[in-house]
Amino acid sequence: MSAVKFYQTGSLAVGNRLLPIEQRSVQATGDRTNAITCGHRACQGCGEALGARVVLDAAMRATGGKLIVVNATGCLEVFSTPYPESAWRVPWIHSLFGNAPAVASGVAAALRARGRTDIRVLGQGGDGGTVDIGFGALSGMFERDDDVLFVCYDNEAYMNTGVQRSGATPPAARTATTQAVGPEPGNVFGQGKSAPLIAMAHEIGYVATATVADVRDLERKVARAMELHGARYLHVLVPCPLGWGSATSETIRVARLAVQSGLFPLFEAERGEVVAVTPLRGAPVPVEEYLRIQKRYANLFSPAVRADVLARIQALAERNIARFGLCRAEES
Amino acid sequence: MLRQIEGSQAVAETVARCRPQVVCAYPISPQTHIVEGLSRLVKSGDLAGCEFINVESEFAAMSVAIGAVAAGARTYTATASQGLLFMAEALYNASGLGLPIVMTVANRAIGAPINIWNDHSDAMSQRDCGWVQLYAESNQDAVDLHVLAFRLAEELSVPVMVCMDGFVLTHAYERIDVPGQEQVDAYLPAFRPRQMLDPHEPLTIGAMVGPEAFTEVRYLAHQVQRRALDRIPELAGAFEAGFRRPAGGLVRPYRCADAETVVVALGSVLGTVKDTVDEMRDDGVRVGVLGLGTFRPFPAGALRQALGRVARVVVLERAFSVGTGGIVSADLDSALTGLPQRRYTVVAGLGGRPVTKASVRAVLDAATADDLEPLTFLDLDRSTVEAVR
């Protein structure tokens, strides 16, 4: 990673023009692939479209353009390939909702059999396709250590079908199937799963989390994943203005606050062990700052402020901060 | 060369000689011996250049196959029964994308009640999924159909199921001529996919198609199946020329020339039916058999031609559509619309119940006397039915 210190407290993507070309982010260079190109039909401010663009351009750079992409059913698939149009400038296949990891395994097997291991395979899907309906296939791909990087673009619910709860939906969040009504509005506490931690339990070569708020970090993790072979997993938090009720101009800020509050820890793991953590920049932000700007959490602030529920969410953030040591470097 | 060999092992060896590049496997009886055999052939190096993938479900098996064939590899898997149903979503996907996967279905009943034995409920339940379905009458037939299936699948870019009766064929040891490597190579050219995932020529496969083109996609799929109706007899002819024995085809008549009554059946029960018909012929009854070698596409024209002049047709089938009746019968009724003959459906051998010559003889005697219900359950045990009531 670049040793250059960035002084901006805004987007980490700015400042590229001050760098020599070889140190610039892939997104800042003119020869990027534009793997998912303009004209697709994602919503304004879509975190997933942005995440896919950053991830695939970085993967294309890392593989010298020798990449095959397998996509699960979901927003990303629907908004990118309305026949007869396609936004993809990479070889790309969409099969079903729950089988993208297995299809990717099949592509990797075919490439091995054909002696084309120079071509790499990237599978991708949303959180529904990854942590819920595709989870068996994902676990199978992991345990066989198939040569696939699987990327989950996590927007924390089934956005394509109209914002229903998934196994990645956080507590208290309103979705169409966890409505903001009753004494405990929104999604319940004590449910859901951490796909990155479960991926680590498979002891695969590389697991990392990232967000669209830090393009350089995301690109670096893709590049690192592509240095390795075998099963790898990248879990990218991608805010969804539609489902989260956040302003379309705030996608990056929302993602950054998820990290800065401690709710979404950034880490890398190899063979089941955490090998690197991205510390918070300065003191943790109270979760309230993250939650208030999203209408899915409106039930926490209206008609009355639910201090009890906010405290429970704050406790989740603090558990992450303690568990991953998110404050250690910056506070000293 | 004839060898005494188990049906499953013969199929495994034959598939290996078709040089698959990816084989994915999930165990389910009675299909397991086939993939076990292939596992051994890959592991030992006898089947070189092939990736054998142990997957976590049949859904994954078909999904791995989809990815593999889309990336340009000749791909094979096998399943049965619940496993075929667990694949159902991916079956439609493979055919919808025009991916030429070959799969053995070791036909077995579907639960509940759970039952591991043979009938055709599994494959028949997927009759509309867009795969070609070939049915093996014997283990020799099963072996030969696999060679034909790869060529058919790859020529037309359509997936093909080779259906062989579970246990009755898969676990039977008998004399089988396993096709030699040179013979297979001469018949089956290397796989040249119609389209594939390739960084040099990026394709989008699996786009979302709305009302403006979906009908056309289905229409084209139907045209491919209709081409298969022409191509299957041609490929069967080419097989016979190369291997000097018949294999496959749409329909196979047996003693039908002057028959007044013809039994239509498919799968291994044809042997029993033919033996029964031989005995009835000895008794002077003008009865014949029409074996159905291809169920999808449904060879309506060939059936109409073969059955147009007979007085009665008895469909003996090992599957059943609850609430309606025979499955092959319904298709056959449609194919024979307007013909004056009497038609009977005999549902036989469900869940592995043996179909004996005596029982077949009894229903055929009743049929030839036109003293048979339109829908009969062979050997139905009334005492069990009454007890449950």
The residue extents of the domains of chain B are 2-243, 251-388
Position B115 scores a pLDDT of: 98
**pLDDT beyond 70 at B86:** yes
Rounded to an integer, the average pLDDT of A175-200 is: 97
- CA dihedral sign, ordered B78, B58, B24, B115: negative
Select A32-331's CATH number: 3.30.70.270, 3.40.190.10, 2.60.40.1240, 3.40.50.970. Answer: 3.40.50.970
Please tell me the distance from the alpha carbon of residue A72 to that of residue A81, in angstroms, as a whole number. 12
Beta-carbon separation of B205 and A92 below 8 A: yes
| Per-position DSSP letters for A202-239, written without gaps between them | TT-SEEEEEETT-HHHHHHHHHHHHHS-S-EEEEEE--
- ipTM of this predicted structure: 0.97
For the domain spanning B251-388, the CATH number is 3.40.50.920
Provide, as residue numbers in chain A, all residues whose Cβ is less than 8 Å from the Cβ of B55. Answer: 102, 105, 140
Provide, as residue numbers in chain A, all residues whose Cβ is less than 8 Å from the Cβ of B21. Answer: 110, 113-114
Provide, as residue numbers in chain B, all residues whose Cβ is less than 8 Å from the Cβ of A83. Answer: 207-210, 213
Provide, as residue numbers in chain B, all residues whose Cβ is less than 8 Å from the Cβ of A103. Answer: 63-64, 66-67, 70
Judge residue B325's burial from the number of C-beta atoms within 10 Å of its C-beta, 0-12 exposed, 13-18 middle, 19 or more buried: middle
Distance (Å) from the alpha carbon of B21 to chain A's nearest alpha carbon: 6
Between the alpha carbon of residue A35 and those of residues A83, A88, A119, the distances in Å are 18, 6, 16
Between the alpha carbon of residue A244 and those of residues A66, A162, A191, A240, the distances in Å are 35, 11, 19, 6
Give yes or no for a contact between A166 and A178, defined as CB atoms under 8 angstroms apart.
Answer: no
φ, ψ (nearest 5 deg) of residue A185 = -65, 150
Give yes or no for a contact between A83 and B213, defined as CB atoms under 8 angstroms apart.
Answer: yes
pLDDT digits (tens, 9 = 90+) for A189-199: 999 999 999 99
Listed residue (A19, A112, A106, A122) closest to A66, CA to CA: A122
Position A330 scores a pLDDT of: 44
Radius of gyration (C-alpha) of chain B in whole angstroms: 21
Rounded to an integer, the average pLDDT of B96-104 is: 98
Q: Which carries the bigger pLDDT value, residue B275 or residue A2?
A: B275
Judge residue A305's burial from the number of C-beta atoms within 10 Å of its C-beta, 0-12 exposed, 13-18 middle, 19 or more buried: exposed
Element (H, E) at A36: none
Position A9 scores a pLDDT of: 45
Please tell me the distance from the alpha carbon of residue A93 to that of residue B87, in angstroms, as a whole number. 19
- Taking only residues 66 to 85 of chain A, the set having a beta carbon closer than 8 angstroms to any beta carbon of chain B reads 66-68, 70-71, 77-78, 81-85
Query: At which residue do the structure tokens 């070189």 appear?
Result: B48
Provide, as residue numbers in chain B, all residues whose Cβ is less than 8 Å from the Cβ of A144. Answer: 53-54
Largest CA distance in chain B: 69
Position A19 scores a pLDDT of: 74
Q: How far apart are the first and last CA of chain A?
A: 23
**pLDDT beyond 70 at A332:** no
Beta-carbon separation of B65 and A144 below 8 A: no
pLDDT digits (tens, 9 = 90+) for B119-163: 999 999 999 999 999 999 999 999 999 999 999 999 999 999 999
**pLDDT beyond 70 at A157:** yes
Listed residue (A41, A45, A38, A51) closest to A75, CA to CA: A41
Strand partners, A241: none
Please tell me the distance from the alpha carbon of residue B255 to that of residue B19, in angstroms, as a whole number. 38
Listed residue (A142, A159, A158) closest to A150, CA to CA: A142
Please tell me the distance from the alpha carbon of residue B31 to that of residue B165, in angstroms, as a whole number. 10
Please tell me the distance from the alpha carbon of residue A261 to that of residue A293, in angstroms, as a whole number. 13
**pLDDT beyond 60 at A3:** no
Q: Please provide the average confidence, as pLDDT, over all residues in chain A.
A: 94
Please tell me the distance from the alpha carbon of residue A97 to that of residue A133, in angstroms, as a whole number. 7
pLDDT digits (tens, 9 = 90+) for A234-279: 999 999 999 999 999 999 999 999 999 999 999 999 999 999 999 9
Phi-psi region of B224 (alpha: psi -120 to 50; beta: other; left: phi over 0): alpha
Listed residue (A140, A234, A204) closest to B62, CA to CA: A140
Strand partners, B376: B346
Compute the residue count for chain A: 332
What would the two tokens of residue B276 be? 């029964």
CA nearest to A66 within chain B: B199
CA nearest to B205 within chain A: A93
A59 at interface of B, judged by CB pairs closer than 8 A = no
The percentage of residues in chain B with a pLDDT greater than 70, rounded to a whole number, is: 100
Listed residue (A221, A202, A203) closest to A211, CA to CA: A221
Provide, as residue numbers in chain A, all residues whose Cβ is less than 8 Å from the Cβ of B51. Answer: 109-110, 112-113
Beta-carbon separation of A96 and B63 below 8 A: yes
| Residue in B18, B22, B191 to test binding to A, most A beta-carbons within 10 Å | B22
Find the Cα–Cα–Cα–Cα dihedral B59, B64, B65, B68, rounded to 10°.
Answer: 170
Please tell me the distance from the alpha carbon of residue B284 to that of residue B275, in angstroms, as a whole number. 14
Position A278 scores a pLDDT of: 96
**pLDDT beyond 90 at A8:** no
- Assigned fold of B2-243: Rossmann fold (3.40.50)
**pLDDT beyond 90 at A2:** no
Position A331 scores a pLDDT of: 43
Beta-carbon separation of A96 and B67 below 8 A: no
Judge residue A9's burial from the number of C-beta atoms within 10 Å of its C-beta, 0-12 exposed, 13-18 middle, 19 or more buried: exposed
pLDDT digits (tens, 9 = 90+) for B155-207: 999 999 999 999 999 999 999 999 999 999 999 999 999 999 999 999 999 99
A91 at interface of B, judged by CB pairs closer than 8 A = yes
> Edge-to-edge strand order for the sheet containing B204-205?
A273-277, A267-270, A206-211, A232-237, A149-154, A120-126, A67-71, A92-94, B204-205
CB atoms within 10 A of CB A37: 13
Beta-carbon separation of B56 and A136 below 8 A: yes
Chain centroid to Cα B335, Å, comes to 19
Amino acid code (one letter) for B212: E
Strand partners, B22: B51, B75
**pLDDT beyond 50 at B65:** yes
Please tell me the distance from the alpha carbon of residue B64 to that of residue A105, in angstroms, as a whole number. 6
Give yes or no for a contact between B57 and B92, defined as CB atoms under 8 angstroms apart.
Answer: no
Phi-psi region of B37 (alpha: psi -120 to 50; beta: other; left: phi over 0): alpha
Give yes or no for a contact between B25 and B55, defined as CB atoms under 8 angstroms apart.
Answer: yes
Listed residue (A92, A152, A103, A94) closest to A128, CA to CA: A152
Distance (Å) from the alpha carbon of B185 to chain A's nearest alpha carbon: 18
Beta-carbon separation of B53 and A104 below 8 A: no
Position A5 scores a pLDDT of: 57
Beta strand residue intervals within chain A, DSSP E: 67-71, 92-94, 120-126, 149-154, 206-211, 232-237, 267-270, 273-277
Between the alpha carbon of residue A248 and those of residues A33, A50, A160, A236, the distances in Å are 25, 12, 17, 18
Query: At which residue do the structure tokens 């506070």 appear?
Result: A331
Distance (Å) from the alpha carbon of A168 to chain B's nearest alpha carbon: 23
> Edge-to-edge strand order for the sheet containing B160-165?
B51-54, B22-25, B75-79, B102-107, B160-165, B132-135, B294-296
Please tell me the distance from the alpha carbon of residue A332 to that of residue A320, in angstroms, as a whole number. 19
Give yes or no for a contact between B30 and B166, defined as CB atoms under 8 angstroms apart.
Answer: yes
**pLDDT beyond 80 at B304:** yes
Rounded to an integer, the average pLDDT of B256-281 is: 98
Provide, as residue numbers in chain A, all residues whose Cβ is less than 8 Å from the Cβ of B204. Answer: 81, 86, 88, 92-93
**pLDDT beyond 60 at B373:** yes
Position A17 scores a pLDDT of: 67
Confidence of residue A21 (pLDDT cuts 50, 70, 90): confident
Rounded to an integer, the average pLDDT of B348-356 is: 98
| Per-position DSSP letters for B36-55, written without gaps between them | HHHHHHHHHTSSTT-EEEE-
Domain ranges for chain A, please list them: 32-331
Provide, as residue numbers in chain B, all residues whose Cβ is less than 8 Å from the Cβ of A136. Answer: 56-57, 59-60
DSSP B231: H
DSSP B323: T
Distance (Å) from the alpha carbon of A62 to chain B's nearest alpha carbon: 14
